[in-house]
Chains A and B, each alone.
Chain A
């Protein structure tokens, strides 16, 4: 079974802190994604990566950065956390294939910034 793990299920941080969220997948997927999910808004893409050291901005990259030094690991960094970044953060991965585009998700990290 595909497994995507995230470093924390719940996280509480203070305004201005630097926050690291880590995601690891064990299926040798090329593509990895970071989303945030807020009530009524659906999943919004923050960043994605289609290869090691490659990254592309999604719809809402402001206030975030990412790192992908190894194929299996994709990190999301909040440089200076703010209260409007309180949200559920979901990591996903997928194959770089012509017939299969489904994304596999981790359990999510619920981040609260106070």
Chain B
């Protein structure tokens, strides 16, 4: 069955450094992948979508890569700030407009 893995351990990063989060998947070849941010007690908020024919996508301080050979996506936040602290979820294309979700990685940016 399809499986998505995100690092379940929290990632602690010093302010100003680049944070890199990983999303791995198996038994699947999605046409696109999405990243969301979720703050405590709130619903996820869409950040970026990357398609299978795109190797990299950027939005301000965010960068996402999509390696369909490795079945992996990397999510980078450059010049990280304490306000970037949140849980980040990856989601892959499912059938009928559904998404298949990872459990998320908690990112903590220390001042």
Q: Which residues of A are in contact with B by a Cβ distance under 8 Å?
A: 4, 31, 33, 40-45, 48, 50, 56, 58, 90, 92, 94, 96, 101-108, 110
B99 touches A103 (CB 8 A): yes
Chain B hits for A43, CB < 8 A: 44, 89, 91, 99, 101
Residues on A with beta carbons closer than 8 Å to the beta carbon of B32 = 101
If A105-B43, A107-B42, A108-B43 touch, whether A40 touches B103 (CB-CB below 8 Å) is yes
Among the listed B4, B91, B97, B102, which residue makes an inter-chain contact with A96, where contact means beta carbons less than 8 Å apart?
Answer: B97
Q: Which 8 A-B residue pairs are closest in the complex by CB-CB distance?
A: A105-B43, A42-B103, A102-B46, A43-B101, A42-B101, A31-B97, A90-B43, A108-B43
Chain B interface extent, by class = 20 to 34
Residues of A near B98 (CB, < 8 A) are: 33, 45, 48, 58
Determine the chain A residues whose CB is within 8 A of the CB of B44 once the complex forms.
43, 90, 103, 105
Interface SS of chain A: helix, strand, loop or mixed? Answer: strand
Asked if B97 contacts A41 (CB within 8 A), the reply is no
A40 touches B8 (CB 8 A): yes
Q: Are A50 and B96 in contact (CB under 8 A)?
A: yes
Could you tell me the distance in whole angstroms from the C-beta of A8 to the nearest C-beta in chain B? 13
On chain B, the residues within 8 Å of A56 by CB distance are: 96
> Which residues of B are found within 8 Å of A45, using beta-carbon distances?
98
Residues of B within 8 A of A42 (CB): 4, 89, 101-104
Residue of A nearest to B46 (CB): A102
Please list 10 pairs of residues, one from A and one from B, whose beta carbons are closer than 8 Å in the complex, sorted by A's number. A42-B102, A43-B91, A45-B98, A101-B32, A101-B34, A102-B49, A103-B46, A105-B45, A108-B42, A108-B43
